[in-house]
Chain A
């Protein structure tokens, strides 16, 4: 077996196209790594700078009433993520910070795409482009010619009758191709990590673990493509047919099917407009989700507080009723918002999952989503960030409301002020990205589909080769 694989490696090495493509891939890698690295470093510097700037403003703001401070607000900046060097994911289409203030759940604003012209929609060159689109083209180019010698000289029937089955021949060829691909992927991954760490990127152990997972997924992905294109090459009449069919399949799986699947899912599960979304939330806050309108709820709160404190007027309360009302109001609006946000999130996740299932035959969409998940530049990380930012908003607003409730009296709005020590007591926002294990846990659908696809192709090799 070793000798056969070595022989196949020699055949691949002698293919003219191999050297050409290898040079192209290395050139693309140089450009993509440089661009991705600079982008990451730029993001890191700018986000740290503005995060510190706003924290300084928060800590050094003039003394003011806690509710005013809650409206002065804070910012949640998405920290630059070194894994985005490998896959920038949806970063161009999502923003990098959220303004957090009392009563309002704000959105991301100003994504990079918002500052760009239509040209951005034609794509961005980065490492994921190289690994997920360019290298598969190399795999395709190598695969189409893999049976050329055997077929043109009828060596294939000679081997299958005298030595071993075509299935084995195909598998040996696939091992040889996988070896070459592994060398390319491992080499480029290692070089990227080494070079970027020399240039100052701090790779944590968890990041390296994620990258190993990503590398493994890319190898499975490339093996799927190797098997697919080798099967086509074996079944094709000649190299011409193999090339035409393989290229058609590549274009279909990489460019057309994912786009169709995503667009169809958007039609199947439409998203509400921001206008409708906000109106629904406002309606539910005003009218209540269980029939108790805003007035009712406020009355209920006041009555229960008065009752609990055995007094008949809010002025006699040991706490500030305004603080309590703001606390309860925030609590209720958060419940309503979280409910609507969760519905919205479900629609978006349903769009993505259905697209993945529809394009089951598109390994590209699967590896793309898996790679974005592992690099934490996917939808889940986006939601994760938004939810953590919203939790933080809730925390800091309610801390301030509590302060107002416990430390001030009704009608002291203009006189009661909190100071630097109180502002410092509000912890800064720290985003906790998912751990690699969580990523794997949540990427179960992609993992099952990608392994399913691999098994399907292995079965096809067994049956058809």
Chain B
């Protein structure tokens, strides 16, 4: 019986023009979604490659300037002198840091189009540069991306609803249910066989979509990770199949079924997340305006008394850097370093506070996501493809740490007035 039912359901699937069109549209959108994700990934990686080249060129220039030493022109001598003096060099050198996207992020752009993913920083005054955004069209960000996760999260349930909204009700409306209930051995067996067919066909379609993604758009992606995402997607689709079956079991009309199922889709995909987002924003407000306190350029007014005061404050916090050289040039540059570090210190606590709030907000929403499979899977996709808030916060923290290492690298020499040489430069911390 099972094979005959499968055979004829497959015929239904293939002969139904609407379903065929929907299937073709699903495949076409998936292809575009993968292309879109891939284009986005390539754009970000190409920017990062340029940054790497820029950084490497900058480092080569430092080496060349060192090698040129004070033997050549006045300009070269000037550069050499600046490089040797850490308290000056720290203001001349720029470092590019970046958040490398994972190849798997092709299937889920996630929030990577919103988060800044590269910064040109200086060892001091980090927060002046930390939050600069990538150029984007906010209108497009609002409407949202079409990526593979969009197909699975939003379109797949719609496809399942279009297949199954009249799974039982159609039989009833066509008189088949009463015909079969009286005539056939077991109507429920017949229904479960059909359900099994739809589960198989949905899994097969998912397999097709994931194969498209894997074979056409990926090279270096971990199979296990891909499999994990595939399994989550299967469970998500199964949820929608069960929902469709459950709604059909209410024994209402096809009109009721489709209206109810679309309302559920709207609730799970838009309404619940929308309300949850607003509640979270209200519960854990983050005033980005506060950042304005720490992004201002560090400024001193050219007054020795002010320089001394700043340094006094700095040495009380960092006695290990105490330097008693009070010559005007040293005082000026060290005071700027000290002021930059003091400002960064405030920035650190501000950023840590913001990150903490962001994570609390995320934790709250994650708890709600257990009630909404669409939210849950969206979050899972973002987690697995490392395009979520937690990955961005992790990037910010790594950036903070790197900045501290850089500062230490320069401060060690700046406050001791030791000269920096090429061997020391080659020990410069590198962004990983």
Residues of A near any B CB (own CB < 8 A): 31, 35, 38-39, 42, 46-47, 49-50, 53-54, 62-65, 68, 71-73, 75, 77, 89-90, 92-97, 99, 101, 106-126, 129, 133, 137, 141, 144, 239-240, 243-244, 247-248, 251, 255-256, 258-260, 262-263, 265-267, 270-277, 344, 348, 351-352, 369, 378-379, 382, 414, 417
Contact = CB atoms under 8 A, between A and B. Distances in A.
Contacts of A352: 137, 139
A125 B137 contact: no
B115 interface: yes
Contacts of B142: 89-90, 92-93
Interface in B261-318: 262, 266, 269-271, 273-278, 280-282, 285-293, 295-297, 299, 301-302
A107, A113, A267: residue with the most chain B Cβ atoms closer than 10 Å: A113
Given A90-B142, A93-B114, A124-B274, A414 B302 contact: yes
Given A125-B278, A263-B146, A113 B111 contact: yes
A370 B90 CA distance: 50
A117 B280 CA distance: 11
Interface stretch (B176-184, B196-204, B230-238, B251-259): B251-259
B111 A344 contact: no
B143 interface: yes
Contact of A110 (B135, B145, B291, B362): B291
Contacts of B138: 90, 93-94, 111, 379, 382
B111 A118 contact: yes
B258 A244 contact: yes
B253 A275 contact: no
Contacts of B115: 114
B262 A251 contact: yes
A277 B135 contact: yes
B47 A273 contact: yes
Nearest to A72: B299
B288 A112 contact: yes
A398 B307 CA distance: 29
Nearest to A271: B135
Interface string B106-123: 000011001110100000
B144 interface: yes
Given A75-B292, A414-B302, A266 B137 contact: yes
A124 B278 contact: yes
A117 B134 contact: no
Lowest 10 A-B CB distances belong to which pairs?
A122-B273, A117-B389, A125-B274, A93-B138, A110-B288, A90-B138, A109-B131, A118-B382, A93-B141, A123-B274
B136 interface: yes
A244 B262 CA distance: 10
Given A46-B287, A115-B286, A117-B389, A137 B134 contact: no
Contacts of B47: 273, 275-276
B358 interface: yes
Contact of A239 (B255, B297, B365, B379): B255
Contacts, number: 240
Given A96-B288, A117-B379, A122-B378, 14 more contacts: A46-B287, A47-B289, A73-B296, A93-B142, A95-B133, A110-B131, A112-B286, A117-B358, A125-B275, A240-B253, A263-B140, A272-B135, A277-B135, A382-B138
Given A110-B131, A378-B139, A39 B277 contact: no
Contacts of A68: 299, 301-302
Nearest to A369: B139
B249 interface: no
Interface string B148-164: 00100011001000100
B14 to A, nearest CB: 20
A274 B369 CA distance: 34
Given A110-B131, A251-B262, A71 B299 contact: yes
A119 B133 contact: no
Chain B interface, DSSP helix/strand/loop, else mixed: helix
A240 B257 CA distance: 10
Contacts of B20: none
B281 to A, nearest CB: 7
Nearest to B115: A114
B274 A351 contact: no
B29 interface: yes
A243 B289 contact: no
Contacts of B354: 115
Given A73-B297, A110-B131, A259-B144, A275 B292 contact: no
Chain A interface, DSSP helix/strand/loop, else mixed: helix
A122 B141 contact: no
Contact of B269 (A122, A275, A348): A122
18 contacts: A49-B289, A65-B302, A68-B302, A75-B292, A95-B133, A99-B296, A109-B131, A113-B114, A115-B361, A118-B110, A119-B365, A125-B275, A247-B258, A259-B146, A262-B139, A262-B144, A344-B135, A348-B137
Given A114-B116, A260-B29, A273-B47, A119 B140 contact: no
Contacts of B51: 275
B414 interface: no
B343 to A, nearest CB: 13
A150 to B, nearest CB: 17
B65 interface: no
Contacts of B155: 256
B144 A121 contact: yes
B375 interface: yes
B399 interface: no
A122 B374 contact: yes
A240 B274 CA distance: 30
B365 A117 contact: yes
Contacts of B173: 240
A259 to B, nearest CB: 6
A107 B278 contact: no
Nearest to A248: B162
Contact of A271 (B136, B277, B357): B136
A123 B273 contact: yes
A111 B132 contact: no
Nearest to B392: A114
A120 to B, nearest CB: 6
Interface string B333-359: 000000000000000000000100110
Given A50-B289, A95-B288, A243-B258, A117 B111 contact: yes
Contacts of B361: 115-117
A271 B141 CA distance: 13
A183 to B, nearest CB: 23
A259 B19 CA distance: 22
B39 interface: yes
B36 interface: yes
Given A68-B299, A96-B289, A344-B135, A119 B273 contact: yes
Nearest to B275: A125
Nearest to A99: B295
B43 interface: yes
Contacts of A239: 255
